[in-house]
Amino acid sequence: MRNAILCFVPVLTLCFASSQLKAESSSTEPEPELRKEAMNIVKIFSDTLKPKLKEAIQSGGIEHAIKVCSVEAPKIAYDLSAQTGWSIKRVSLKPRNTNNARPDTFERNILTKFDLHQAKSDSSTLLQYSEIVNNKYRYMKAQAVEGICLNCHGSSISADAKKTLNQYYPEDLATGYALGDIRGAFSLVKEL
Ligand code: HEC
């Protein structure tokens, strides 16, 4: 059976089947246990990175935090992948790290759906999606823009921060976001 479900976690009644996705890819019912595992990994990722970012901003300002993020974010993804056996990354339709964060076709599709869904609703924080594709369990969770993110992803970034971003990410596309926008998503894959 094909089963493509896009939903807000706590409000299952809001779930809806995605007909476009159904037409494009074959899938089976996602595994609840794997989904739980994936959600847990995302939480660990987030709970590890966010405090580091906040601490870096407080101790050395935005430019320092950009440098910290450029090292810590890929490292957390790498370590978590090694520890769990899942492939773990963050992707975006407007990537900053163009080596790591460019979406594949599946991810692009889901990110576009997240954006469409977010445009119709106020709350994007819990938007997630899972599907089994080609014997792989794929899970994505949207990451919405909060106040702190605007320092480095907003539309009025300080000149110094811009300069540092240019140094580290000359192809950066990840600015111009507003509160509540979908910045990107965690994307997890487990071979079945
Ligand atoms: C201090 C600056 C800074 C802040 C604040 C910040 N980011 Fe980022 N963000 C970065 C940098 C630098 C990268 C690239 C990291 C890398 O090389 O993997 C990045 C990458 C990302 C990515 C991965 C996709 C991509 O484009 O490379 C996502 C998703 C993301 N940020 C979301 C957020 C969200 C959501 C917030 C707020 C909770 C946030 N960021 C706050 C600097 C920041």
Q: Is 169 exposed, middle or buried (0-12, 13-18, 19+ CB in 10 A)?
A: middle
Is 59 inside a domain boundary? yes
Give the domain range for residue 40.
Answer: 31-191
Report how many domains make up the chain. 1
Q: Are 182 and 142 in contact (CB under 8 A)?
A: yes
CA distance 152 to 117: 24
Is 20 inside a domain boundary? no
Instruction: Give the atom of ligand 1 at the shortest distance from the alpha carbon of 95.
Output: 26
**Which is nearest to 178 in space by CA: 137, 127, 119, 103?**
119
Atom 41 of ligand 1, nearest CA residue: 149
CA distance 8 to 129: 9
Is 3 inside a domain boundary? no
Atom 34 of ligand 1, nearest CA residue: 149
Residue 62 makes CB contacts below 8 A (sequence gap 6+) with 151, 152, 158, 160, 161, 164
pLDDT bracket for residue 119 (50, 70, 90)? confident
Residue 99 has a CB neighbour count (10 Å cut-off) of 9
Would the CB of 145 count as within 6 Å of ligand 1?
yes
Digit-coded pLDDT (tens) for 20-35: 333 233 344 468 999 9
Residue in this structure with the two tokens 């993110």, named with its chain if needed: 149
Q: Are 27 and 2 in contact (CB under 8 A)?
A: yes
Instruction: Give the atom of ligand 1 at the shortest distance from the alpha carbon of 143.
Output: 35
Q: Which two tokens mark 7?
A: 């939903």
pLDDT of residue 148: 95
Is 10 inside a domain boundary? no
Is 83 inside a domain boundary? yes
Using the 8-state DSSP alphabet, how is residue 144 labeled? E
Is 7 inside a domain boundary? no
- Terminal Cα distance for the chain, rounded: 17
Tell me the pTM.
0.87
pLDDT of residue 29: 44
Would the CB of 161 count as within 6 Å of ligand 1?
no
CA of 22 to the centre of ligand 1 (A): 31
Q: Residue 12 above 70 pLDDT? A: no
pLDDT bracket for residue 141 (50, 70, 90)? very high
Residue 71 has a CB neighbour count (10 Å cut-off) of 11
Is 93 inside a domain boundary? yes
Would the CB of 157 count as within 6 Å of ligand 1?
no
Is 102 inside a domain boundary? yes
Q: Which two tokens mark 117?
A: 């869904």
Residue in this structure with the two tokens 């299952």, named with its chain if needed: 12
pLDDT bracket for residue 121 (50, 70, 90)? confident
